């Protein structure tokens, strides 16, 4: 191993190497071509890109670069905590605790200033109290809905997901964007009409 010129760079490189593991965390959502499940790194990239493309639909003024940063780091905790399927009620019982411990370990690999910055950004996303975090969360909720529609309910059908379960998530989309929320509701209607989603 090439020696590091200082401990700060060593910590940053250690974090860079560690977050590569996000590519191994599989989600339930299939790629839109139905060829395989997406991984967390692909998901994070996809929704960060969506942030730039769909920024005009945020209900309030947002710092879109900051929203994208939230989206790129929000699932890093799943390296340790694993991905919890949104409709897995049992998995959600200890999700918060698993992710809190993961955040402490993973962001703790960074130099103190960056550790604090990343942890604060992750906590802000989780709290969904700011315009930036609500818009970020709206995109995170919209993307799997789009994938399920494109794959004719490939994740919904095996798990017996119903319209009511999906509709419970749409207020989180509406909290960040009324237009995207209306689009999500229309997508749910169409998914039910086409038989992709149980009524």
Give 10-35 pLDDT, tens digit per residue. 999 999 999 999 999 999 999 999 99
> How far apart, in whole angstroms, are the C-alpha atoms of residue 170 and residue 188?
9
Residue 10, CA atoms < 13 Å, CB-side half-sphere: 7
* Average of per-residue pLDDT across 139-160: 97
In a domain, 199, yes or no: no
pLDDT for the residue 85: 74
User: For residue 16, what is the domain's CATH number?
Assistant: 1.10.3210.10
Higher pLDDT, 169 or 92: 169
**Predicted structure pTM score:** 0.94
In a domain, 53, yes or no: yes
Give 61-85 pLDDT, tens digit per residue. 999 999 999 999 999 999 999 887 7
Work out the pLDDT band at 89, boundaries 50, 70, 90: confident
Structure tokens belonging to residue 106: 């993973």
In a domain, 2, yes or no: no
Distances (CA, A) of 192 to 117, 133, 163, 198: 42, 29, 7, 6
* Average of per-residue pLDDT across 132-142: 98
In a domain, 164, yes or no: yes
Q: Residues near 132 by Cβ (< 8 Å), separated by ≥ 6?
A: 62, 63, 66, 67, 70, 124
In a domain, 59, yes or no: yes
pLDDT at 1 over 70: no
Report the domain count for the chain.
1
Q: What are phi and psi of 126, to 5 degrees?
A: -65, -35
In a domain, 137, yes or no: yes
pLDDT for the residue 88: 67
Residue numbers of the domain that contains 160: 7-193
* Average of per-residue pLDDT across 170-190: 98
pLDDT at 101 over 70: yes
């Amino acid at each position: 191993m090439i020696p590091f010129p200082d401990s700060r760079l060593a910590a940053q490189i250690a974090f860079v190497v560690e977050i590569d593991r996000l590519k191994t965390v599989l989600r339930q959502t299939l790629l839109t071509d139905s060829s395989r499940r997406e991984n967390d790194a692909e998901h994070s990239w996809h929704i960060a890109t969506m942030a730039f493309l769909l920024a005009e639909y945020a209900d309030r003024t947002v710092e879109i670069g900051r929203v994208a940063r939230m989206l790129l780091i929000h699932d890093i905790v799943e390296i340790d905590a694993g991905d919890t399927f949104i409709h897995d009620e049992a998995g959600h019982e200890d999700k918060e605790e698993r992710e809190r411990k993961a955040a402490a370990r993973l962001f703790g690999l960074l130099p103190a200033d960056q550790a604090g910055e990343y942890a604060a950004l992750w906590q802000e996303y989780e709290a969904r109290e700011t315009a930036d975090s609500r818009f970020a969360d709206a995109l995170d909720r919209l993307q799997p809905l789009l994938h399920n529609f494109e794959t004719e309910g490939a994740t919904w059908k095996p798990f017996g997901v119903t319209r009511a379960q999906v509709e419970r998530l749409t207020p989180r989309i509406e909290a960040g964007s009324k237009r995207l929320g209306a689009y999500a509701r229309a997508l749910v209607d169409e998914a039910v009409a086409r038989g992709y989603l149980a009524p």
